[in-house]
Amino acid sequence: MAIREVDTVETLKALADPTRMAILSALTRSPDLPVMSVRELAAYLGEPQTKLYRHVRQLDEAGLIRVAATRMVSGILEQRYQACQRELRLSSTMLRENIDEAEVALQTLLDEFRNGVLAATLRESEEEERPVLFLWANTLAPETAAELRRRLKEVNEWLDQQPEDPDGVPVNLMVGLYRDEPRRTTGSPA
């Protein structure tokens, strides 16, 4: 499955932890969805192996990862895991109905993105490989806001149609659009 909509609070809770998000990111870092053991995940993430077992189990129980292979290592059966999807999308209905869990999961996702931006910023790289960030807020005519939403959906659909390239450039993109509350003026009316 390429894209999965997160529509249960159990799945949302499974995402609401930085370690589990790091594991999921490691298992979706390339188009072919790598298969890794807990030992390999620990080495990749720089975490103790014992710390990861509980998190891997929770991701497996939530259906976000699965046992993709097993092998014998020094007489012990080792399970190797793979992500069950390339991308996750959060159901807005489920988020509204579970706002506390949604806040934790959203903070975890934003933290993961922030950490990636900071790491990419600190790497020595060509100018075109450095992160590009935009923050824009304004008041738009209703038809312009609707057009912006349509165009963003169009970009998302275009990206979904792009074939994955195993030799390509790995990128992360986060785009958010929401209607802000009208700004209130302070003080008493004149």
Residue 123 is part of a domain; what is its CATH number? 1.10.10.10
Residue 63 lies in a domain: yes
Q: What are phi and psi of 37, to 5 degrees?
A: -85, 170
Q: How many domains does the chain have?
A: 1
Counting as low any pLDDT under 70, the low residues of the chain are 1, 31, 128, 182-190
Q: Is residue 54 part of a domain?
A: yes
Residues 6+ apart with CB under 8 A from 159: 173
- What is the C-alpha separation between 112 and 78, in angstroms, rounded? 28
Pairing of strands 36-37, 76-83: antiparallel
The model carries a pTM of 0.69
- Provide the pLDDT for residue 95: 82
Is residue 177 one of the residues assigned to a domain? no
Q: How far apart are CA 178 and CA 155, in angstroms?
A: 17
For 100-130, write each residue's pLDDT tens digit: 888 887 888 888 888 888 888 888 777 767 8
**Domain of 37?**
3-127
Q: Answer whether residue 44 is part of any domain.
A: yes
- Per DSSP, helices labelled H in 8-98 are 9-15, 18-26, 38-45, 49-61, 92-97
Predicted local distance difference test score (pLDDT) of residue 182: 64
